[in-house]
Amino acid sequence: MTAEFGSVAEVLLLILVIADIVMMILLMLLLRYLRRLAAGLGTAGAPAAPQPPAPGAEPVPEPEAGVREQAEPAPAPAAPAVDLIEGSPDIQGSIQRLCEKHGLSDFLITTLDGLVVVSRSPGSSEEAARFSDLYQRRKKPDSPGVTFLEIAHRRERMLAVARSNHPLSPGQVREIEEDARKILNWWL
């Protein structure tokens, strides 16, 4: 009887050691993720340094203190007729075409808990986590030119993040949402 108790105790001790090792690995991964997230947030909020004028160019006068210039956003050109599905080899190709159609520099779709569904650029998992966190906390994007779009796909809410060098009108945002839904419905 004591031999059986000893072997059960050894098995339980072995399970405990394995569980501790797994917990330590997960803790190390969490700390690594938090460091990357903190580094990304630290650089994203830093203001850009002013650029010196080009040689021979006239200096642009600084606005007076307390006065902000309200620049009129240039109207974005109408999106060309582009077939997002036909001829695309995969969902990545369709996202590339969506970016070309709407003049986007980047586009990603993520679940609301930050998992990348599809992205134009590789290595977007940290951005997806950061943007979904901001969206969940009802914060505005912390990067210039970023627009959040909520998309429903198969009764699941997803977050699309569009990055553009020009402001997007409400009509453009609706078109991008519709195109993203078409892509998701076709490929997933």
Does residue 99 belong to any structural domain of this protein? Answer: yes
Q: Based on the fold, state whether residues 116 and 35 are members of the same structural domain.
A: no
Does residue 9 belong to any structural domain of this protein? Answer: yes
Structure tokens, 24: 């330590």
User: Which parts of the chain fold into alpha helices (H)?
Assistant: 2-44, 91-102, 125-136, 170-187
Q: What is the pLDDT of residue 158?
A: 94
3-state secondary structure of 145: coil
Considering only residues 5 and 124, tell me which one the structure prediction assigns the higher pLDDT. 124
Domain region containing 32: 1-43
Q: Based on the fold, state whether residues 99 and 161 are members of the same structural domain.
A: yes
Backbone angles phi, psi at 119, to 5 degrees: -145, 150
β-strand partners of 108? 119, 161
Does residue 79 belong to any structural domain of this protein? Answer: no
Whether the pTM exceeds 0.85: the reply is no
Rounded to an integer, the average pLDDT of 150-172 is 92
Q: How many domains does the chain have?
A: 2
Q: Based on the fold, state whether residues 35 and 112 are members of the same structural domain.
A: no
pLDDT digits (tens, 9 = 90+) for 120-155: 887 788 889 999 999 999 998 888 899 999 999 988
Q: pLDDT at residue 51 above 90?
A: no
Backbone angles phi, psi at 177, to 5 degrees: -60, -45
Q: Based on the fold, state whether residues 35 and 106 are members of the same structural domain.
A: no
In CATH, what number is assigned to the domain containing residue 178?
3.30.450.30
Q: Based on the fold, state whether residues 33 and 95 are members of the same structural domain.
A: no
